[in-house]
């Protein structure tokens, strides 16, 4: 009997109807067994009931036109949308003067104009946009919303100059290492010690408020400037030309920003107590997001540092801040901080909230970044060391890009949590979006049984849109950065 040898492929048969199409997907994912079928039916019934309840309240039984509460009383089980239409301006701008709200609109437009090019990978000039995002945008927002003309005194400029000089001293320590600086430039170390001691004396004497304190503070400032300047000149061997140019650019930008804030642009002054609503929510969230990530990276690296002082300081800050709730941090910044300041010195309430939120979020971000760093294989460190890279180039160019990519889901989760936690600033008298809604609901003109539910539903939709947008963009970024891992 002759053997049969096939010379061509047999025709491919279509998949069975029960395993393809929408019915196949439903059977495989939702009705694979008795238990999964029961759970699917229960969950589906719950979703349909909730969706029908919201649809009936918000659309079918809702009131869309009216001038006061009388129109909404005609449907005691439906949403009162005329309330939202009348109060939406106050929900967005708070108590900001109506004739000056164009300034807030310009700030929103600037945020979109600078932020969108950073979020779209195909658009060019990412470095320019990033520079504008952290320099020109905050400066413009502060000038537009507050009116500028902050009237900085000479002491403010001197204090900033001292801080910049101290930063100049600290750059060689960070780039070359303490051991290298101690071995090659002891004059720099001596000048740094004298500067820190003089700065401490200046702070102590300035707090006493006497005539000798003024003389002592002035002499302390002079000592700080002189010693730090000597230290900066003494460590030129440790500082590269790029680092020197960067420090010069930072210093010039800081003083230019202070001069701009000190200039009178002819805008009327609007106190931060009049800010509120979505405007304040976005300010607190954006500032917290922008500042918490770099601070978290620094704290994560400090926690893994081989220097005991840096590691202890980082661990102490992270554990202390993470051990208390955000509402405690805000309460301390609002009530307790003024008790430790010299008489007559105070910080703006909103500024205290911004600092508290940023420090609190940075402690949590530090643990997220540390988890990403620890997930990096040891071979990456060994390969960077074999190439002759020092600590900071290794971290910036090899370790941190991989660690941040791994940590994208946790980082965005922290951002979303921070955005929702902005509602807690109401505890210190800052009216965010939720706080201003609660305030407007007390208006007797709109006192109806459904006014509160309508307001909270509108706010929930606003928060959901913003948080869902952040989540989807994070998923998009994660897919885009993980293309090289696909097989």
| Residue 331: band (very low, low, confident or very high) from pLDDT cuts 50, 70, 90 | confident
Q: Which residues pair with 80 in a beta bridge?
A: 63
C-alpha distances in angstroms, 101 versus 108, 308, 420, 482? Answer: 11, 51, 25, 43
Integer Cα distance of 389 and 381 in angstroms: 10
What tens digit of pLDDT does each residue of 216-272 get? Answer: 555 555 555 555 555 555 455 555 556 666 767 777 788 888 888 888 888 899 998
Integer Cα distance of 155 and 148 in angstroms: 19
Higher-scoring residue by pLDDT: 66, 318? 318
pLDDT given for residue 107 in this prediction? 93
Q: What percent of the chain has pLDDT over 70?
A: 78
- Summary mean pLDDT of the chain: 82
- What is the pTM for the complete model shown? 0.82
What tens digit of pLDDT does each residue of 402-439 get? Answer: 999 999 989 999 999 999 999 999 888 889 999 999 98
Residue 98 has pLDDT above 50, yes or no: yes
Integer Cα distance of 326 and 355 in angstroms: 12
Looking at residues 343-368, what average pLDDT do you find? Answer: 87
Lowest mean pLDDT among 5-19, 137-151, 165-179: 165-179
Higher-scoring residue by pLDDT: 19, 8? 8
Lowest mean pLDDT among 25-39, 183-197, 224-238, 374-388: 224-238
Torsion on CA atoms 212, 217, 219, 223, rounded to nearest 10: 150
Q: Which two tokens stand for residue 214?
A: 């003024």
Which positions ≥6 away from 377 have C-beta within 8 Å?
none
Alpha carbon 263 to chain centroid, angstroms:
28
pLDDT given for residue 262 in this prediction? 85
Question: Cβ distance 412 to 470 under 8 Å?
Answer: yes
Higher-scoring residue by pLDDT: 394, 222? 394
Which positions ≥6 away from 139 have C-beta within 8 Å?
257, 260, 261
pLDDT given for residue 244 in this prediction? 60
Looking at residues 146-164, what average pLDDT do you find? Answer: 75
């Amino acid at each position: 009997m002759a053997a049969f040898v096939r010379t061509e492929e047999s025709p491919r048969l279509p998949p069975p109807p029960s395993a393809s199409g929408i019915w196949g997907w439903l059977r495989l994912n939702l009705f694979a067994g008795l238990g999964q079928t029961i759970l699917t039916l229960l969950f589906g019934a719950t979703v349909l009931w909730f969706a029908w309840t919201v649809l009936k309240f918000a659309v079918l039984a809702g009131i869309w036109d009216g001038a006061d509460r009388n129109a909404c009383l005609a449907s005691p089980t439906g949403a009162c949308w005329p309330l939202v239409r009348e109060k939406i301006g106050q929900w967005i701008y708070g108590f900001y003067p109506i004739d000056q709200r164009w300034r807030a609109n310009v700030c929103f437009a600037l945020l979109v104009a600078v932020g969108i090019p950073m979020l779209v990978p195909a658009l060019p000039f990412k470095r320019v946009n990033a520079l504008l995002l952290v320099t020109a945008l905050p400066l413009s927002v502060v000038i537009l919303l507050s009116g500028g003309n902050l009237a900085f005194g000479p002491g403010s400029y001197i204090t900033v100059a001292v801080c910049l000089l101290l930063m100049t001293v600290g750059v060689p320590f960070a780039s070359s290492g303490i051991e290298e600086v101690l071995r090659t430039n002891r004059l720099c170390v001596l000048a740094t010690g004298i500067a820190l001691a003089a700065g401490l004396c200046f702070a102590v004497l300035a707090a006493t408020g006497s005539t000798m304190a003024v003389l002592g503070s002035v002499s302390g400032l002079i000592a700080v400037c002189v010693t730090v300047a000597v230290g900066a000149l003494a460590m030129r061997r440790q500082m590269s030309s790029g680092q020197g140019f960067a420090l010069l650019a930072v210093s010039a930008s800081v003083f230019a920003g202070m001069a701009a804030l000190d200039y009178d642009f002819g805008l009327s002054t609007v106190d931060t107590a009049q800010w509120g609503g979505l405007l304040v929510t976005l300010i607190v969230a954006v500032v917290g997001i922008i500042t918490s990530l770099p601070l978290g990276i620094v704290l994560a690296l400090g926690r893994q540092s081989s220097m005991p002082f840096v590691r202890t300081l980082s661990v102490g800050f992270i554990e202390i801040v993470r051990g208390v709730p955000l509402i405690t941090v805000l309460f301390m910044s609002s009530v307790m901080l003024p008790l430790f300041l010299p008489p007559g010195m105070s910080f703006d309430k909103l500024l205290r909230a911004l600092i508290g939120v940023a420090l609190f979020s940075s402690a949590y971000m530090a643990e997220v970044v540390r988890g990403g760093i620890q997930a990096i294989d040891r071979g990456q460190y060994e390969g960077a060391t074999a190439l002759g890279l020092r600590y900071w180039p290794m971290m910036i160019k090899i370790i941190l890009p991989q660690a941040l990519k791994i940590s994208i889901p946790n980082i965005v989760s922290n951002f979303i949590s921070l955005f929702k936690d902005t509602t807690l600033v109401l505890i210190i008298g800052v009216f965010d979006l939720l706080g201003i809604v609660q305030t407007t609901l007390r208006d007797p003109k709109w006192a109806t049984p459904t006014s509160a539910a309508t307001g909270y539903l509108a706010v929930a939709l606003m928060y959901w849109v913003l948080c869902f947008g952040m989540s989807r963009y994070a998923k998009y970024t994660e897919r885009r950065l993980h293309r090289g891992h696909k097989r």
